[in-house]
Amino acid sequence: MSTGNSHKRKYVLFRKWCNLLKDSKDTFTFEGAAIIWLPLALMLIIGCFLLLQDFDDPTKDTTHITNIGFAVLAGISSLSFTWAGKIEQSSDRKLHDEVVRMGEVSFHAALVYIIASGLKYIYIHIDAAMGSHYWFGERVIRFTYIICFFMAFEKTIFSITGLNKLLYRKSRKKNEN
């Protein structure tokens, strides 16, 4: 019955977070905790609270917040791609690939924020136009924009933490030399 392949791939809900954490032993220092891990915990706690409070409220227009998020994430992705362009691929291919990956995640988060913002804007105006008449599509739009906000938030936290970890390592390596 066995095919000889005893290694089975296990499903991990947040595989990219596991990959980010498994390679982090060198950042579990006092300085690393203050620069990387404490801000991560605070962003997760405060961010989730704000997401639940502000973005779930169907009457609150949050487009100004998402426009700022888009601009910041577009800037972060641009900086990441510029930084990756300055890294010599022959000498540090792994760092180059990680910086490009974090830039891609940042850019994707920016796009998802814009999608979520557009869906919420549509929802607000449908809700105002329809009044008390509910229809199934309205609930689908609301569910979709809430999921999009959480996905964009998770990608934002992941990319900022990943870039912060890479910069911390680079700084430590430079200080050791």
Question: pLDDT tens-digit profile of 1-49?
Answer: 445 554 555 554 556 666 666 666 666 677 777 777 788 788 878 877 7
77 lies in a domain?
yes
Contact (Cβ atoms closer than 8 angstroms) between residue 87 and residue 99: yes
Cα–Cα distance measured from residue 154 to residue 114, given in angstroms and rounded to the nearest whole number = 15
pTM over 0.75: yes
Domain-located, residue 117 = yes
The range of the structural domain enclosing residue 71 comes to 30-176
> Is 6 within a domain?
no
Residue 98 within a domain: yes
Instruction: Give φ, ψ of 62 to 5 degrees.
Output: -110, 20
Residue 12 domain flag? no
Tokens of 169: 């390592």
Q: How many domains would you assign to the chain?
A: 1
Query: What is the distance between the alpha carbons of residues 46 and 104, in angstroms, rounded to a whole number?
Result: 25
In the numeric block, the tokens 């019955």 are attached to: 1
